[in-house]
Amino acid sequence: MTQYHVSAAATSLGTGTEIDPFRTISQAAAIARAGDEVIVHEGVYRESVNPRYGGESATNRIVYRAAPGEHRPLITGAERITSWVPEGEGVWKVVIDNAFFHGYNPYVETVFGDWTVYPDPRVEVRHLGDVYLNGKSFYEVSSLSKVRDPERWETGRDAATDTIVPLIDPDATVNVWYCETDAEHTTIWANFHEADPNTELTEINVRETCFYPSRTFVNYITVTGFEMAQAACPYTPPTADQVGLLGPHWSRGWIIEDNIIHDAKCSAISLGKEISTGDNESTRTHRKSGYQYQKEAVYKALHAGWEKGVVGGHVVRNNTIYDCGQNGVVGHMGCAFSLVEHNHIFRIGTKREFFGWEVAAIKMHAAVDTVVCANRVHDSVLGMWLDWQAQGTIVENNVFYRNTRDVMTEVTHGPITFANNVFASAFSFDDCAQGAAFINNVFAGRIRHMPILDRSTPYHFPHVTDVAGEAFVYGGDDRYYNNVFLAAGNSAVAVSAADGGGAVGVACAGTVLLDAHPRSLEDYERIVEETGLGDEDMYRDLKQPVYVTANTYAGGAKGVSNEPDAVTVEDGSLSLRESDDSVWITLSLPDTARAATGAVVTTADLGQPRIVEEYFERPDGSPLVVNTDIAGAPRGEASARGPLTQYSAAEQLVWHV
């Protein structure tokens, strides 16, 4: 094992020893091999780290670590600019030779790809570039006149309500920028108001990534203790080369932990797809739909060796991720068999400079046997979006709040388990999937259930990537046990489909929308038999069974009729208190609701989703047993419903660093 040292304060390139450190992390990344450790000392590193080699196994990896006892080293995709020229009324201009960008010019590159949606038809593009004043990002505007007069507000579209909203708070001081490029130069204008950009810390992003291998299969790397920021990374739909500010680039066994990551133009941490299986071909060629290219990407990846132990199996934990344009964590297929645990993710997609159908704090496709556990996700356009092939996925002990929507599942067939979660936003859950189990959660607001009958999507044999078949999403086939439902805001509202298909469903508080579904697989099979002759058309017209037992409905939430052990009360509310490192919940319920209990739920209680026929179990195949609560307290044979084993009148801790 060799230990290399890196210091931004080094006066020469160095030899990598503690007394003669490298000046850049890239020097170490070019030579570090399995078993080596790279110690990075405090300072600012304006570079894109491209590790050449990976480790050999989970126990023989390459570790990139911040030096203990020092300030976090910052890896930034930005460069400081001090050659601004004033043009009056707070507007400054800088002209940059294109050679400065070393072949990747974010002021030429645009937010581009399948499922992108520009908020204003008058705005043709948004660029991957950005301007920062003392670390705060600006807004790009579509003309020089708007730089001179930032009162001309840009607007964006809110996907959940399908309404036009202002991008910029009209009561705030607005910092905006605009750019033009030609063959030789890039010109940027920005409105700094009273600030002098040549004396303040003024930066523009110039690099695509901060820490990302250019090659695939650079395996078993640990990245821990850094701050990373301001990368001009591209839009990452599931049909694209999913390049993030930080990520393993189609490798296996990375550990990304204890980092602060912010201001990725699009995605912060990417566990996603690489380019050989497609790169925005629908938008580039218009030959086939994005849906068709995405399906092809799955089969191409399987042909190229996408399987457990080859790709995926990453750990993303204890990171703080914020102020990113598209995703905090993203991944298609490369996220399979991974653990996303105890991260604090917030303000994702909230600038609304651009939009697309792939924006969420956590957005994953094909999260096969992936565990999303104990994360704190808030103040984002969508907290988590599990799309296509979320099979064997477990979502437990998370806290979602103040999001436009907390969680969405789409065109996946299960099994997915949601246990001990707090869904505290007014729009708690968007269920455009099937085959989920909801156990001991609290839903503070509306839920929508909707079938998707125009897209047949793959499902897998248990615990592997091999495809067992494809099916439409018929809706239902869900299990609801021991949950608490409340009714924050309006109890029912029409919402547009998040997949952009134009369909509209109704969201309401509780399970009442499932009332017309049969309550057992036997009843469903009997209805099929009684329907008579037919094939796929017959199944499309029938509602799948749902399994609903021992839930509590409060404050206007309503349940299905004849639900065993249901408790319904008029009053009930949920409030949260937060600090930088903790979140507390106060769940106010009448005594009858507080005293209501439910049995411990296990694999044996949940059966199998009708289509997939895989048990609800742990990724290693062991039984699922929901016998602890969100705080880790043990559940007895009968404990309180919702995420805690018991509720007091006082606030209770549900998340802590």
Strand ranges for 170-319 from DSSP E: 176-181, 185-191, 202-205, 221-224, 227-229, 255-257, 260-262, 267-270, 315-317
The answer to whether position 66 is within a domain reads yes
Domain-located, residue 392:
no
Domain that holds residue 50: 1-71
Q: Is residue 340 part of a domain?
A: no
pTM of the entire structure? 0.95
313: exposed, middle or buried (Cβ count in 10 Å: 0-12, 13-18, 19+): buried
* The dihedral formed by the CA atoms of 43, 47, 48 and 54, expressed in degrees to the nearest 10: -60
Res. 165: pLDDT tops 80: no
Beta pairing, strands 547-549 & 436-439: unpaired
- pLDDT band at 171, cuts 50/70/90? low
Q: Does 58 map to a domain?
A: yes
The answer, yes or no, to whether residue 361 has pLDDT greater than 80, is yes
Query: How many structural domains comprise the chain?
Result: 1
- Residue 640 resides in a domain: no
The pLDDT of residue 352? 86
Per-residue confidence band for 494, with pLDDT thresholds at 50, 70 and 90: very low
Q: Do 75 and 226 touch, CB atoms closer than 8 A?
A: yes
Q: Which helix (H) or strand (E) holds 395?
A: strand 393-396
- 543 part of a folded domain: no
What pLDDT sits at residue 166?
A: 52
- The pLDDT of 314-340, averaged and rounded, is 98
- Answer whether residue 29 is part of any domain: yes
pLDDT score for 500: 33
% of residues, the chain, pLDDT over 90: 87
Contact call for residues 213 and 187 (beta carbons, < 8 A)? no
Q: How far apart are CA 498 and CA 316, in angstroms?
A: 27
Tell whether 67 is covered by a domain. yes
